[in-house]
Structure 1
């Protein structure tokens, strides 16, 4: 933050929505914080308020995005079940994105909380590398460690053939559970 005056929460939230509506790529909380002269935590609160107002914002490992329902209607989706070690995560994600498929999320079943879902939103090797780097830099655990490696992914692509090809590759490397 610098010495400029801070924006009001209403103005910040409007700016966040305006920027997300125009964005072609995710925008980080730090980018919003720098633009509005507040802390990243204030941005997290603003985004939470916007989500509570039913704004279609998702947080990904690369930053915030708006879910555009109209654009996604033509895409094919499939939920798959995988099992692997944390060290195999890069191989798993590369095996999917190399077929032109987006990994939307990871889902695990927790004994107390039920299904836990986290947005991933990776579509390329570069995004996979950024995701893995962020996990390593923050010393975070993969959700799949809660379930001894078993987890689900929602896959999305413009054709079901691409998703099936990714599944075939995952099966060949022993990651997909059919």
Structure 2
């Protein structure tokens, strides 16, 4: 029995509703199954919602709705340099202190700053991020800049961020 696909306005309302209710990312494939459309249709819906100023971000795990709860979070941008083989070490050194890696930023000679949302908060998410890079044969953005990149770190405590930075410095990753 084939289900009818959900109309776009209703689908977009559902996307917003589900994202607002979830504190975990929801994949485009999950939304596609729920609404009986392709993942590409969901990508288009999310683009439309972003254009309407809905605070939706795409992470390697799926879509997130940025709630106001992040206001009490401390943030710090750090500069790192390492090769691809040290990515797991870098991510673990950060998340083991209760710090979230919000994004990665590289400076491109033509496009300027390129920022990609990562949203990695624990070892499981770090492993999933690395596995997704490897399984898609994608390159890390830092490959564009000989390993130099920035991360926006986020935590409920600046002390946690400072402890993560100390470990990164001791491992030779923090610039």
Q: Same fold (TM over 0.5)?
A: yes
Query: What is the match of residue 162 of structure 1?
Result: 160
Instruction: Give the distance between the partners of 2:56 and 2:5, measured in 1 at CA.
Output: 23
Listed as ranges, the gaps of 5+ residues in structure 1 are: none
How far is 1:153 from its partner?
A: 0.1
Please, which moves more after superposition, 20-29 or 141-150?
A: 20-29
Deviation at 1:102, TM superposition (A): 0.3
Within the alignment, does 1:28 sit opposite 2:27 as a pair?
yes
Q: TM-score, normalised by structure 1?
A: 0.97
1:11 Cα deviation after fit: 0.8
Task: Report SS of the residue matched to 1:43.
Answer: helix
The answer for the alignment partner of 2:174 in structure 1 is 176
Please say if 1:148 is aligned against 2:146. yes
Distance in 2 (alpha carbons) for counterparts of 1:66 and 1:21 = 6
Q: How many matched pairs?
A: 175
2:17 aligned partner: 18
Moved over 3 A (4+): none
Partner Cα separation in structure 1 for residue 127 and residue 145 of structure 2: 23
Unmatched runs of 5 consecutive residues or more in structure 2: none
**TM-score scaled by structure 2?**
0.99
Q: Distance in 2 between matches of 1:148 and 1:102?
A: 24
Q: Distance in 2 between matches of 1:75 and 1:55?
A: 20
Task: Quote the Cα distance in structure 2 between the aligned partners of 1:159 and 1:16.
Answer: 31
User: In the TM superposition, what whole-angstrom CA distance separates every residue of 1:121-161 from its partner, at most 9, and x where no partner exists?
Assistant: 00000000000010011111000000000000000011110
Q: How far 1:3 sits from its partner (Å)?
A: 1.7
1:82 partnered with 2:109: no
Residue 165 (structure 1) shift:
0.2
Computed over aligned residues only, the root mean square deviation of the Cα atoms, in angstroms, reads 0.7
Q: How far apart are residue 73 of structure 1 and its match?
A: 1.1
